[in-house]
Structure 1
Amino acid sequence: MFVPDRIWPGIADGTKQNPVVYRSRDPEAWRRAVYSDIPLTTQWDDGEHEGDGLGTTPTSSNSMPTMVFSMLQDLDVRPGNRVLEVGAGTGWNAGLLAHRLGNDNVVTVEYDHDVARGARENLERAGLAPTVVEGDGRQGWPDGAPYDRIIATCSLLEIPRAWLEQTVPGGIIVAPFGTEYGGEQIVRLTVNDDGTSASGRFTRGSAFMRLRQQRTDRPPFEDYLHGQEWPADGVRTTMTLAPPDTGGWFEQFVIGSAVPGAFWRAERYDDGAYTFWLYSRDTRSWASADYERGRTEYEVYQSGPRNLWDEVKAAWRWWDDQGRPGYDRFGLTVTPDTHTMWLDSPGNLVPFRG
């Protein structure tokens, strides 16, 4: 009822994506994809993508079923709860909530006009009528507040202040929370008694599409050289930490929590070697590390007021020294002005974060 005629099944990374599938052309393949435990991309490039090939950035989807139900389990809705969902997508998640709680207790906010219209049509076809609002999900929907639960189906770098304000004390916020550097986990926050903060643990890894208003710019490398030839004023050093050790999805999340305002790119070569680039968002600092298989020492250049590889190495070493803890030992505390990561308990803060 909720999946459109045209879908791109599988992980939407532009390389491993399965080819486009049409219900009208190949109903068996379409149905097989719909009833598989995989995400289904339904829109690329904010709707500007044309044709059946892969776009640049996936921007709407029907989420993987196990992720949908795991997040609903985290949300722990009870009869009579009012729920705000941010990111309507196909409308399926809002439909599940409306079936459980009743139409009047569910609001879903969607920024994209066409996606919101499609979700509303799908819900009507299913005989459901939660409130579908076209708007900026960062603002929540104050007309329907307060909410007992808020759930986001898009990745966030920051939990909006409005969500704290619109959730009842003791209410729960479930959202995919990522770092600018990379990596993402589902966080389950409980709002405190006076509504000024929320805190809770991460429950599992995730890879959702970023909330549009929190997407980050990625300046080209030329902006960092400031008219000079590489390595410009970069200072050469060596290190023994292999760049691949820092590149896992969870490792990126830990590093990103400790190294703010930084991101990476990989420049790959035919022989399997690559250069791992680090950049600061403000274009003032950069670093590079050359990786070749079989080596135990790697050449590094660093430039600018921040020694980015030193920061990444320190964050990774801290995580390694703790015994490489997983997501279930990490948590997040959010106030209107701060986001603080911690290990095991709110008083044991992840170091380095600015």
Structure 2
Amino acid sequence: MDSGALTSDWLPAYQAVLRESFVPDVIWPGVGPADGGPVAGIDRRTDPEGWFRTVYSDTSLTTQWDDGTHTGTYRGNIPTCSNSQPTMVFSMLAALDVQPGCKVLEVGTGTGWNAALLSERVGCDHVTTIEFDPENAATARARLDAAGYHPVAIVGDGSQGWPGRAPYDRVLITASLREIPADIIRQTRPGGIIVSPYATEYGGEAVVRLTVQEDGSASGPFVGSSAFMRLRQQRAYRTHVKTYLGGKPWPADGRRTTTSLSPEDAADWLPMFVIGLQTQGMFPYPEKLEGGRYTLWLRDTQVTSWASIDFVPGAEEFEVHHSGPRELWSEVTAAHAWWDDQGRPEFERFGLTVRPDGTTLAWLDSPEHPVPAVG
């Protein structure tokens, strides 16, 4: 890998643990949570050359759809398990800073590749891996056994950790979180490190590296952008926009205004992440229209407020309709303006602190500079 993610200390594990041993015969390359990706998967039995070429490329490989209910070579509806992009795998392992003798907990066994890499590095006796999906757990266990690795493999709710082997020196979470589970922090020793993808309600995601403190809190910086599948216990289930409109045709009781902030300026992964750090209980959905136009819908999780912003290519002002006690687009514009005033900082300048009571605080550059809340 030319990115530099594969450092010399992880090179022996990479060479010893063949990725091909931890993926199934049918794979879908480059399919993320919101990507289109290929319609048909690559089947090792009919296209072995293409399969091997894909497995040893720097791309993520979707290995399960729709929590295992999907079968066949054509893609399903929602990707629910993958073998992650090697660059991401080794950048997270580098952030984990695994040292000889470390006790490691992995939340999300998935295909088993990470568990094998960790076992190769610190020994099977020092690795505990937990997987919620019984089918994934069974196939991962079989692959690990076949490759000669025997970590402690648990079928269970990873958000609760595994207290029977605690305390851990390192915790690697391979699914996206909206909340860092308190059980995970409690099961990590002071000075221990937790590495996890962290997503905001609004959107955007980055990997956070938390160090657990003596008082039971955990704090640390984000180390780069990411796009993982959500931990199943923290999935969001959205109410249809028709409920917000009260059964009336759009714009129902929506109040009309205009905005000079283009929805496009707030649509990339980084500004979405920063907006999400500042807002609570709000999420977007773009409804595509013809000619490059779309309507950006905003809704709150309490089903009290909504907004719609109509994007037209080349326009300098955009029509807004909003309803309810919260002016959701005003919250977005305020959050975006703060980010702009700070010089549009990247992911790595932000950090997160989780207090012992579970309160989560985002900050810029240091915990002494909290990210302001809007709304």
With the shorter chain as reference, the TM-score category is over 0.9
Partner residue of 1:288 out of 308, 332, 336? 308
Q: Residue 260 of structure 1 corresponds to which residue in structure 2? A: 280
Q: CA deviation at 1:213?
A: 0.6
Q: CA deviation at 1:228?
A: 2.5
CA distance in 2, matches of 1:189, 1:15: 32
Runs of 4 or more above 2 Å deviation: 11-14, 16-19
Q: 1:168 to 1:83 in 2, by over 3 A?
A: same
Q: Which amino acid aligns with 2:38?
A: Q
Q: Residue 55 of structure 2 corresponds to which residue in structure 1? A: 34
Q: Residue 179 of structure 2 corresponds to which residue in structure 1? A: 158
- Residues 1:106 and 2:116 are matched in the alignment: no
Q: Which amino acid aligns with 2:140?
A: A
CA distance in 1, matches of 2:272, 2:97: 29
User: Aligned residue pairs: how many?
Assistant: 353
Q: Deviations over 1:267-324 (max 9, x none)?
A: 1112111111100011110001111111101110110010000000000000000000
Contact 1:9 / 1:19 at 8 angstroms: preserved in 2?
A: no
**3-state DSSP of counterpart to 2:258:** strand
**3-state DSSP of counterpart to 1:88:** coil
Gaps of 5+ in 1: none
CA distance in 2, matches of 1:96, 1:341: 31
Contact 2:39 / 2:75 at 8 angstroms: preserved in 1?
A: no
Q: Residue 308 of structure 1 corresponds to which residue in structure 2? A: 328
Q: CA deviation at 1:55?
A: 1.3
Q: Residue 188 of structure 1 corresponds to which residue in structure 2? A: 209
| RMSD (Å) for aligned C-alpha atoms | 1.1
Partner residue of 1:20 out of 41, 58, 81? 41
Q: Which amino acid aligns with 2:50?
A: A
Q: Residue 11 of structure 1 corresponds to which residue in structure 2? A: 31
Gaps of 5+ in 2: 1-20
CA distance in 2, matches of 1:221, 1:174: 35
Q: Residue 257 of structure 2 corresponds to which residue in structure 1? A: 237
**3-state DSSP of counterpart to 1:271:** helix
Q: Deviations over 1:18-52 (max 9, x none)?
A: 63011111111110010000000000010011322
**3-state DSSP of counterpart to 1:41:** strand
TM-score by length of 2: 0.92
**3-state DSSP of counterpart to 2:128:** strand
Q: CA deviation at 1:231?
A: 1.3
Q: How does 1:113-132 map to 2 (within 5 A)?
A: 113-132=134-153
Contact 2:39 / 2:74 at 8 angstroms: preserved in 1?
A: no
CA distance in 2, matches of 1:67, 1:328: 15
Q: How does 1:132-147 map to 2 (within 5 A)?
A: 132-147=153-168
Q: Residue 342 of structure 2 corresponds to which residue in structure 1? A: 322
Q: 1:341 to 1:17 in 2, by over 3 A?
A: farther
**3-state DSSP of counterpart to 1:30:** helix
Q: Residue 90 of structure 2 corresponds to which residue in structure 1? A: 69
Q: Which amino acid aligns with 1:211?
A: L
**3-state DSSP of counterpart to 1:43:** strand
Worse-matched range after superposition: 316-325 or 8-17: 8-17
TM-score by length of 1: 0.98
Q: CA deviation at 1:11?
A: 2.6
Q: CA deviation at 1:353?
A: 5.6
Q: CA deviation at 1:140?
A: 0.3
Q: Residue 18 of structure 2 corresponds to which residue in structure 1? A: none
